[in-house]
Structure 1
Amino acid sequence: MPIQIWHASASKQQAGQLETACRQWLTDEEQQRAARFRQPTSHNQFVVGRGMVRQLLGRRLGVDPRALGFQQSAHGKPHLDGSTVVEFNVAHTSGLVVVAIGQDRRLGVDVEGLDRRIDLDIAKRYFAASEVRWLAAQPAAEQTQAFLRIWTLKESFIKAIGTGLTMPLDQFAFHDLHSPHPQLSFTDERLPSAKKWGPAEQWQSHIFQPAAGYIAALTVHADQRPQITTQPWSSFAPRT
């Protein structure tokens, strides 16, 4: 079964028609959580993200979206209650939400706006040496996008394994970074993280542009590159 990636705009200011529609699938607890966000863009990202996940998973599993139960791993990665084999992950940034859904395999997704302000010193402090060298070799005008290319890939991997930033970002690296399918490696195969999550060849990554002005990355645990579909989502007439 292919991995489905859905994306939807989230209002940066006052909630719009999409946010209003998504609220119908949120639980009372989620409604209360959404109300605690002070910034409109954060509030809307949460509402759209949860609404998308509930509607898409409910449709896929044939259940009421509000009846779905979620749990979180020790590091905060959400997953469905029960023994379902459906795997999903959500990413959001100002103005956009992305949801990836697969089956029987770990996956993670991340998205960033290309207008995001970056600090290249972060790369020097936290990225793997090979990634720092590749970034430094890019033309100055392309370094923001190059940085975000690496950043979304790294985020997608640590979201797939569910460790958050407890796994140091310099313990793994991505190569062939100009490709839409960069390859993961571990900087030292003797490290516990490499032994736990390797071999690196069993991870597949994909860089894509879900909407104009954004860059996103998906990383999946799979021996071979899976089929991936990417499409816009509408709460009014979604298709799966």
Structure 2
Amino acid sequence: MSALQLVVFPVHAQADAAWHTVLDAQQMRHAATLGERQRVRYLNARIALRLTVAGLVQYDPQRVVIEQQASGQLRICTHPRLFASVTYAQRLGLLAVGSSRVGLDYEDGAAPVFWRSAVRRYFCESERRWLQSRDEGTREADFVWLWTRRESLLKYRGSGIRGDTRCLCRPEDAAPSQRSFNLAGGVGTLTGEVLTADLLPSRLALCGEWSPELDFSWHQAPGRMPCCVRSE
């Protein structure tokens, strides 16, 4: 089994009805309580996750049990144990599944209009100083990169960026590896214990003729790192 799988799936439209057979009744009931955008993301992500896990461990997709912890972290109940992380952007969703803990975040748009207030609210002093030192012309792009880096680390640790605003410059435990990447015009970051340079994303076209350009490359860190997380 490959150490890590990175899978791209659509979020612009709900998966075709034929794919819904891999979901259980509880997931369908939960989806019915969500707004349209959240419902599409939830259903497509759960379908993509079940199919990916089933392919890795040779399970029937309907037998794959996915539990969501109070922190939002996903727990995959398989043997051998698998770990997963999911992220959504405007045009596509991504999930990472592997045999060790993993965190994933991806953004495919420009920095939000409130990015400066987000810096003050969520970033630590070291991150704020680093961002302030960057050239004004690249600062918004640097914010997006830094946001994905922080978010993916917090997902790796079991929380999201809005649930954990502590300084990450002095990790409480051994620092995992982080690799940032460019994909389909956006930028993301993977955090984990086993991140290989030959990783390439695969695509699950769950609705219609969805066929995005999956141009992928590893993203060079923009300058000296603001935190001591190990970056490859």
- TM superposition score normalised by structure 1: 0.75
Summarize the alignment of residues 31-42 of structure 1 with structure 2, pairs less than 5 Å apart.
Answer: 31-38=28-35, 40-42=36-38
Q: Is residue 6 from structure 1 mapped to residue 7 from structure 2 by the alignment?
A: yes
Shift of 1:37: 1.9
Gaps of 5+ in 2: 208-232
1:131 matched residue in structure 2: 127
Q: Is residue 66 from structure 1 mapped to residue 53 from structure 2 by the alignment?
A: no
Structure 2 residue matching 1:169: 3-state secondary structure: coil
| Structure whose residues are more often helix by fraction | 1
CA distance in 2, matches of 1:90, 1:166: 16
Structure 2 residue matching 1:229: 3-state secondary structure: coil
State the aligned residue count: 204
Gaps of 5+ in 1: 174-185, 187-193
CA distance in 2, matches of 1:23, 1:167: 31
Structure 1 runs (4+) greater than 6 angstroms displaced: none
Summarize the alignment of residues 185-200 of structure 1 with structure 2, pairs less than 5 Å apart.
Answer: 186=170, 194-195=171-172, 198-200=173-175
Structure 2 residue matching 1:234: 3-state secondary structure: coil
- TM superposition score normalised by structure 2: 0.77
CA distance in 2, matches of 1:126, 1:102: 28
Compared with structure 1, are the counterparts of its residues 24 and 131 closer, same or farther at alpha carbon in structure 2 (3 Å cutoff)? same
The share of aligned pairs that are identical, in percent, is 21
Question: Structure 1 residue aligned with 2:23, among 18, 21, 26?
Answer: 26
- Amino acid across the alignment from 1:56: T
Question: Structure 1 residue aligned with 2:147, among 139, 147, 151?
Answer: 151
1:179 matched residue in structure 2: none
Q: Is residue 232 from structure 1 mapped to residue 199 from structure 2 by the alignment?
A: no
Q: Is residue 44 from structure 1 mapped to residue 40 from structure 2 by the alignment?
A: yes
CA distance in 1, matches of 2:69, 2:79: 15
1:177 matched residue in structure 2: none
RMSD (Å) for aligned C-alpha atoms:
2.4
Do the aligned partners of 1:72 and 1:78 also contact (CA within 8 Å) in 2? yes
